[in-house]
């Protein structure tokens, strides 16, 4: 998987907005940046099931232990 740095992402988004004809004023730019940043972060997050699967592959955790740990974590949110 080819990972993109934050700087590369920002340059690509800036170029995309220039070529699409979008003209942003300061406030629109802030909202646009927040929206793009949130989408960028969400695309790179793992689901609870994915995290459990990764941890189980390490042979250091039992499924029951992970279920308890995630249950406690979710209660603290």
* pLDDT tens, position by position, 22-62: 666 666 677 778 778 888 888 888 888 898 999 999 988 88
The answer to whether 56 and 63 have CB atoms below 8 angstroms apart is yes
Average pLDDT over residues 56-70: 89
pLDDT at 12: 73
pLDDT at 44: 84
| Distance from C-alpha of 26 to C-alpha of 32, rounded to nearest angstrom | 10
| Distance from C-alpha of 55 to C-alpha of 61, rounded to nearest angstrom | 7
pTM: 0.45
Q: Token pair of 68, please?
A: 């308890």
Nearest to 49 by CA among 57, 41, 39: 57
pLDDT band at 77 (very low <50, low <70, confident <90, very high): low
User: What is the domain partition of the chain in residue ranges?
Assistant: 6-43, 47-77
Nearest to 9 by CA among 46, 50, 41, 31: 41
């Amino acid at each position: 998987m080819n990972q993109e740095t934050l700087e590369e992402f920002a340059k690509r988004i800036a170029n995309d907005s220039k070529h699409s004809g979008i003209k942003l004023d300061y406030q629109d730019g802030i909202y646009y940046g927040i929206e793009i940043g949130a989408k960028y972060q969400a695309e790179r997050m793992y689901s609870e099931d994915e995290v459990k699967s990764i941890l189980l592959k390490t042979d250091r955790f039992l499924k029951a232990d992970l279920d308890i740990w995630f249950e406690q974590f979710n209660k603290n949110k």
